[in-house]
Structure 1
């Protein structure tokens, strides 16, 4: 009896071991007549991907999908039943002996099916989730069906996107309708894939092209103006073309790296890589990049550049067709006649035109390409799109050149056909310019030598400083006399006597504020106009350079959300600026006052946020001078009688030109709590520094609390950290000012907080541009997930060697290690 019991127990133990082994072996597969129910999953062999049921966002519907395993949140890469959700958790996945994988609901009705089947001779088909993220149905000899043939909104390594030239079937990405709904949305990312046509990528909204990426340059798609070709990059893009199909794929150069490209419900294509150390996704590129990525923005033969104002201009040899409508584009100044004198003008650093009306020959060199274009009177331009070393290839355009832009880097040469008379005129103009430049250089050099000698003699003789170059200060003499700034004839000059009279001799009763520069007075001019008068104090650390900078800078800026400079005064050691008067003073005097803050309801706060954003966008992109402000804070946001915001105080602003949108300095200026981490620690500032400051402003406006000095009883985070903590915990609404809870549009508040968190992300490259910020604030599309913000209050003393503050928090010297 005991012997029988022992044998029975042994058999049961062995059986259980085999069952466990069977389960372990089949963790990544679904066998015939095996089921997976809601709550169960299968995992690829090396645990990179997982298949199971999920509910997106706040939706309660259930979907069968594949996602990256061990990342939080789950990044879904494929959805089976995206158009037919399950309404509860009764779904079941099963595979029959015909090789058909089906998803059925609780009533047994088929919700989704692979529509695949095997031949009678095939045996034991299985469904298997591979480490590539591909779900395949296969038998012993071949793959019958695979999920990679049915892409959704995400492109991952190993997938193909392109066209089968035999069947005509195209593989492209389609966005989700929203973050809660994976059904087919408005946007697609597809390819131009035709024989004798050159491939490129389009982002379309309801079949209308919104952005064109490309064309392919042999290494990457050229529509990435801020991307430099790097052979050590973590992935490579490959184009495959033969008689049966044309497609793109990308492969990782690092085995430990994971990549994905996703088109979101707002039509933004984002390429991300997974940091396996913390299992967080890092954004590598987003497209469209900027305003010029709007398709055909400047019309035929028009060229777009974010480095110029206006952004659109006609190519040389062309003139604007309709001054009131750039989409009409440009037309030739001289018509082509196919005469012998016709030739080509070269444009460098360009995004090549749309290739829909171009023909490609892979075997022609650039010289042969020129001959081919010249021999065909219908050919309007040519280029070699292949940027690889020694690469050949010829693109010939027949018709209008559309969607051209200038790149600061990663651009290509475009050769455009012009009439002989047009080329002759351009050459004459060019030669004339060369002669004028040469004459100017020689005469200027001679004059400069002479002036240097005279200046040196005067310096030795009189011991006074004079500056004789255009656009600089005239020297201030010791005696008190009025001094004007050159090249500012359009800006009114006020005498010190006029200013003294307007302010009742700088009466303390007229003093309305104090800044790092000195006091601000309310004044009334002789015509009755109320003004704000900013007087530079003798102890101010804003000196001549900053004063001159502010005068010249603001005088050339005109925008409703920038404070208007009405005039200036320089008299002896007195330096004074006269601004438009803003009845409600600065934002900080109201926002952080327990009583006055009640004046700011939510519509007013939202209007202030939008106004500041528009003002900064104007500075960064749309003004004659492109400006980085460097000291955005509530004290520098003035409010007029209608609570409209005006960005002010340009003493620390820096002008940038073209692609020079970043710089490094050893003297960090700004206000602690509002300057970005890369600027505070390393002295690196850019337009993204202003974006960070704007993000802090947004979070302060919504919460009614200061970032610096913020305290919470439950943790030691600053205001940014507190907002991030609530966002991650799904309690974002708790962040808003208590006075807003019952009288605001909650969705607008939550969206503003979300945008604010995107702006204060720790790394500058993760922050959006101000153009993206403005678009996100006024649209209703899905926003990207923000990453951890910079926790400024957590910095230790060894990270910042010295901080010298002026007027509460203004930094004048802060050196990074």
Structure 2
């Protein structure tokens, strides 16, 4: 597997400096924001080929110097957004308001996030987000074009994602818009998974997103998904550490149970959140909805149907109007079950999730040929008597134990099955409990 960049020590130094500032309750001087970015990025540029990591979409006005994100004046961004007027407003994130704008110097349409002065994202977090999005480039991560750190103003300039967020299309759909069809939902799920896989397995050191939710999955042309809003992202554990201890942050309804109760953060915390997003795509329900009273938590509401295989299709979003392949739907639910395991070690890694979703997304649904997407040769849990309350690795042993017409998919499935069987064997040998399912 290729590594996107190899400067662990540099990132560690940056992280330690920022953590010290937070502990001391000191905000770095404005000058330090620019100095930190310039010095760290210049040092990295002299040692590594940054251009090879940035991909084919550098900021237009800084293409000759992609190492350093361009800076903008507050006046430039105010002009671009028509002075941040209501007609330019396109959304609200955890740390501020987002506006659509057009840069005078390039004519480029962008999204400008104006951070709240009283928000949770101070200079250390602002600096980390700028550094991460400058150095981490992937087709499924939103591109940062530049920033403004002028006086007490903090603004981030991103590529404009024309179709808004996944949350908009699932929960706040305008009357003149069509709901997402099955094939589009699966494409979005697979793409978002690839972005998370990149952060967990290709970034060095790994990055834990920490706030994965449908509102932070933005959609471009053709509903191409990209992860956005890295304000809460953390560097993963290094050396022999198994987790990162941190203040519990994120969004209610998406937080992994072990992180919410202990503050111990791992990549498996992100995977739980991804399982919630997958349930959102399948059901059309919000992760947390006070309108449903005792059933306000999506995972709790879904629990009875996830336990009973005969009720699985009752989970389906009514807006799908029954237009989905039943067998693929059930297998996608199984992926969600794996991601939502109570015990973090029983959750798959994102590489495995990507493998499954890539295959399932490839089974396109054709409403004119209802059986075209069905997966043949898979044992149905509902008819096999399998107790899904203790499923430990159904993807490896049953979900993708399939007779398909593509040798590559079969090979991937077998490899995945072997990996999961080995993991379960080790888990059984090291713990008196051989299973710790979703329903404990």
TM-superposed CA distance for 1:490, in Å, is: 2.4
User: 5+ residue gaps in structure 1?
Assistant: 1-305, 313-466, 792-817
Matched, 1:725 2:316: no
> Which one of the candidate residues 147, 168, 189 is aligned to 1:568?
147
TM-superposed CA distance for 1:614, in Å, is: 0.4
Q: CA RMSD in A?
A: 3.1
Q: Which residue number in structure 1 is paired with residue 92 of structure 2? A: 514
- Structure with max Cα Rg: 1
**Separation of aligned partners in 2, 1:311 and 1:541:** 29
Q: 1:664/1:483 Cα in 2 relative to 1: closer, same or farther (>3 Å)?
A: closer
For 1:396-415, list aligned pairs within 5 A: none
Q: 1:666/1:485 Cα in 2 relative to 1: closer, same or farther (>3 Å)?
A: closer
**Separation of aligned partners in 1, 2:5 and 2:159:** 30
**Separation of aligned partners in 1, 2:326 and 2:206:** 35
Matched, 1:746 2:300: no
For 1:328-339, list aligned pairs within 5 A: none
Q: 1:612/1:755 Cα in 2 relative to 1: closer, same or farther (>3 Å)?
A: same
Q: 1:660/1:600 Cα in 2 relative to 1: closer, same or farther (>3 Å)?
A: farther
Q: Which residue number in structure 1 is paired with residue 63 of structure 2? A: none
3-state DSSP of counterpart to 2:186: helix
Q: Which residue number in structure 1 is paired with residue 220 of structure 2? A: 640
3-state DSSP of counterpart to 1:667: coil
TM-superposed CA distance for 1:766, in Å, is: 1.0
Q: 1:693/1:659 Cα in 2 relative to 1: closer, same or farther (>3 Å)?
A: farther
TM-superposed CA distance for 1:753, in Å, is: 1.2
Q: Which residue number in structure 1 is paired with residue 271 of structure 2? A: 691
Q: Which residue number in structure 2 is paired with residue 789 of structure 1? A: 438
3-state DSSP of counterpart to 1:650: coil
Q: 1:700/1:661 Cα in 2 relative to 1: closer, same or farther (>3 Å)?
A: farther
Q: 1:744/1:538 Cα in 2 relative to 1: closer, same or farther (>3 Å)?
A: same
Matched, 1:493 2:71: yes
Q: 1:776/1:532 Cα in 2 relative to 1: closer, same or farther (>3 Å)?
A: same
Higher share in helix: 2
**Separation of aligned partners in 2, 1:542 and 1:311:** 26
1:189-210, CA deviations, whole angstroms, 9 ceiling, x for partnerless residues?
xxxxxxxxxxxxxxxxxxxxxx
Q: Which residue number in structure 2 is paired with residue 173 of structure 1? A: none
Q: Which residue number in structure 1 is paired with residue 201 of structure 2? A: 621
3-state DSSP of counterpart to 2:100: strand
Q: Which residue number in structure 2 is paired with residue 475 of structure 1? A: 29
**Separation of aligned partners in 2, 1:548 and 1:790:** 40
TM-superposed CA distance for 1:568, in Å, is: 0.8
**Separation of aligned partners in 1, 2:184 and 2:137:** 23
TM-superposed CA distance for 1:587, in Å, is: 1.4
Q: 1:665/1:558 Cα in 2 relative to 1: closer, same or farther (>3 Å)?
A: same
TM-superposed CA distance for 1:595, in Å, is: 4.6
Counterpart contact for 1:473–1:485, Cα < 8 Å: no
**Separation of aligned partners in 2, 1:523 and 1:310:** 31
**Separation of aligned partners in 2, 1:664 and 1:619:** 16
Matched, 1:592 2:171: yes
1:165-208, CA deviations, whole angstroms, 9 ceiling, x for partnerless residues?
xxxxxxxxxxxxxxxxxxxxxxxxxxxxxxxxxxxxxxxxxxxx
**Separation of aligned partners in 2, 1:572 and 1:606:** 44
Q: Which residue number in structure 2 is paired with residue 505 of structure 1? A: 83
Q: Which residue number in structure 2 is paired with residue 534 of structure 1? A: 113
TM-superposed CA distance for 1:775, in Å, is: 1.5
For 1:202-217, list aligned pairs within 5 A: none
Counterpart contact for 2:146–2:157, Cα < 8 Å: yes
Counterpart contact for 2:188–2:225, Cα < 8 Å: yes
1:283-304, CA deviations, whole angstroms, 9 ceiling, x for partnerless residues?
xxxxxxxxxxxxxxxxxxxxxx
TM-superposed CA distance for 1:594, in Å, is: 5.2
**Separation of aligned partners in 2, 1:651 and 1:790:** 32
3-state DSSP of counterpart to 2:158: strand
Counterpart contact for 2:283–2:317, Cα < 8 Å: yes
TM-superposed CA distance for 1:483, in Å, is: 7.5
TM-superposed CA distance for 1:788, in Å, is: 4.1
Q: Which residue number in structure 1 is paired with residue 232 of structure 2? A: 652
**Could you tell me the TM-score, scaled by structure 1's length?**
0.37
Q: 1:652/1:743 Cα in 2 relative to 1: closer, same or farther (>3 Å)?
A: same
**Separation of aligned partners in 2, 1:560 and 1:604:** 17
Counterpart contact for 1:557–1:625, Cα < 8 Å: no
Q: Which residue number in structure 2 is paired with residue 309 of structure 1? A: 3
Question: Whose RCO is larger (CA < 8 A, sep 6+)?
Answer: 2
TM-superposed CA distance for 1:734, in Å, is: 1.0
Number of residue pairs the alignment of both structures matches: 323
Q: Which residue number in structure 2 is paired with residue 758 of structure 1? A: 338
Higher share in strand: 1
**Could you tell me the TM-score, scaled by structure 2's length?**
0.67
Counterpart contact for 1:494–1:569, Cα < 8 Å: yes
Q: Which residue number in structure 1 is paired with residue 252 of structure 2? A: 672
TM-superposed CA distance for 1:661, in Å, is: 6.8
TM-superposed CA distance for 1:657, in Å, is: 5.7
TM-superposed CA distance for 1:641, in Å, is: 2.5
Q: Which residue number in structure 2 is paired with residue 770 of structure 1? A: 350
Counterpart contact for 1:483–1:571, Cα < 8 Å: no
Q: 1:555/1:721 Cα in 2 relative to 1: closer, same or farther (>3 Å)?
A: same
